[in-house]
Amino acid sequence: MNGETSERHVIVVGAGPTGLLLAGDLAAAGVPVTLVEKRGHRISNLSRAFVVHARTLEQLDARGLADALEAKGRTLDRINLFGRLSVRLDTLPSRFNHLLVIPQYEVEEVLERRAVEAGVRFRYETEVTAIEQGTDAGTATGVGAGGEEGGVTVVVRTADGGTDRLIAAYVVGTDGHRSAVRTAVGLPFPGKSVIRSVVLADVRLDEEPAQVLTANAVGDAFAFIAPFGDGYHRVIGWHRGHDVPDSEPLGLDEVREITRLALGRDYGMRDARWMSRFHSDERQAPAYRVGRVFLAGDAAHVHTPAGGQGMNTGLQDAANLGWKLAAVLGGHADPALLDTYEAERHPVGRAVLRSSGGIVRLAMAKSPWMLGLRTALTTLVNQVAPVRTRAVGRITGIGYRYAAPRGAHRLVGTRVPDVALITGRLHESLRGGRFVLVTPPGREPEGDRGDRLAVGHWTSDCRTTVLVRPDGYVAWAADDAVDDATVEAALREWLGEPLGESLEPGKPLGSEV
């Protein structure tokens, strides 16, 4: 058996979008990362996700990746639901005031390339079989062989059938709804199947749909069509009257029939290159952390595909966790900062389960009272601006904020738009995984934190000083009367000491969010 030991090493399990983004973030911050993947080295074109929402595009923009994806995909400025509800996106307070329609594998290719360039070590055809945590599972120090003095050991089965032991400071399971990591640490995955016998087919169409995304639901059926961009389209459908096991053979005639029921035509679908049945679950792990092991993406939560929020929620998980692990392993933050990952992201996962579940239940409505409820909610969203703003904010991700401690400034925990600074856009300043201190012109912080902090000045007459976290949310803020000593205290709390100064033992940094 071979072993790997590192007090700063992180093992990410699962090379989907969530794992690729997280591993790339950590490696870019100088953290040694191994990405373990059960599959071989192949990005499949059998994508599950097709939609990238505004908040995710903002996160990708902060990594210099959004423009390349925008060039490959197609944008949509509104979301149509239930036939009568058309939600405009072009009024979003974001540079990305639209939906990007692009297959998941295109996103994975961009994220994989970044991870490779950052130095992530990939181990394909490697399956997790067990996880062993040391006695000091709550701290970032004392990693020993076998995890005996702290740290965590991942036992894996290699491509040749052998066994290996990989030792690291932390492990993150991003290995999907059947997560081996979640199972290994004993976390349940409570929930239920919401829809059974959903059909899926990748086909060619003789007739191109009028819209980039085509979707509709009637009482007994719904269907969704999205383009791959290579001549094929993904078709997803469901028929209430044909509830069969996932193992039941699927023919193209059945897909055509469901599509005609829901959309009125089948668009001349032919030449299926892949077809299958699946069921859609709503599940969430009760905790996202067990000692030194974290869960993110589908390993932590799964829900219906309604609203296209699955991949996006996982990428937001990764954006939240990555900078925190890097800060702790870099010695700039107390390990207590890592507890805020679950505190912030678990409520978001729960909210996504509710919103996506609500959409699909309304789409499946058949009883008179449910149809009446759908009509009432459609009218409410169409006619009441605050309700529409809240709904769009939840679906696109820009409407979420993280809870702030009592007495914190009103901005703490809120998302910061891509504001203009004298030196450029905020998202450009966030590149490199740094905090950004946005202040009125003339203020410069003391000390050298260039590896962790960028300073930007408002182009307007705004007098507020804001410390923006690497994931684009406000860590700390103060109004115009703030003095330099107060700013420096905030920087020390969140970023540690300037270069050349050591961290005081036991001093908590960023332990509250």
- pLDDT confidence tier of residue 508, bands split at 50, 70 and 90: very low
Where helices occur in 202-333 by DSSP H, the ranges are: 252-263, 310-329
Q: How far apart are CA 185 and CA 482, in angstroms?
A: 46
| Chain position carrying tokens 């944008």 | 75
Question: Residues of the chain with pLDDT > 90: what percent?
Answer: 61
The CA-based diameter of the chain, rounded to the nearest angstrom, is 71
What is the model's pLDDT at position 455? 93
- Stretch 160-180: mean pLDDT: 95
The CATH 3.40.30.120 domain(s) of the chain lie at 420-495
Measured distance between the N- and C-terminal CA atoms of the chain, rounded to whole angstroms: 42
Residue 513 has pLDDT above 50, yes or no: no
* Segments in 135-266 forming alpha helices (H): 180-184, 252-263
* CATH code given to domain 3-43+108-189+285-351: 3.50.50.60
Q: Would the pLDDT of 147 be above 60? A: no
CATH 3.50.50.60 domain locations along the chain: 3-43+108-189+285-351
Residue 431 and residue 481 in contact, taking contact as beta carbons nearer than 8 Å: no
Beta-sheet pairing, 170-173 with 293-295 = parallel
- For domain 192-282, the question of CATH label 3.30.70.2450 is answered with yes
If one looks up domain 420-495 in CATH, what number appears?
3.40.30.120
Looking at the chain, which residues constitute the CATH 3.30.70.2450 domain(s)? 192-282
Question: Of 315, 355, 310, 353, nearest to 81 (Cα)?
Answer: 355
CA gap 151, 287 in Å, rounded: 19
Identify which has the larger pLDDT, 44 or 78.
78
Q: pLDDT tens-digit profile of 304-336?
A: 877 788 899 999 999 999 999 999 999 999 999
Q: In angstroms, rounded to a whole number, what is the distance separating the alpha carbons of residues 381 and 47? A: 31
pTM of the model: 0.90
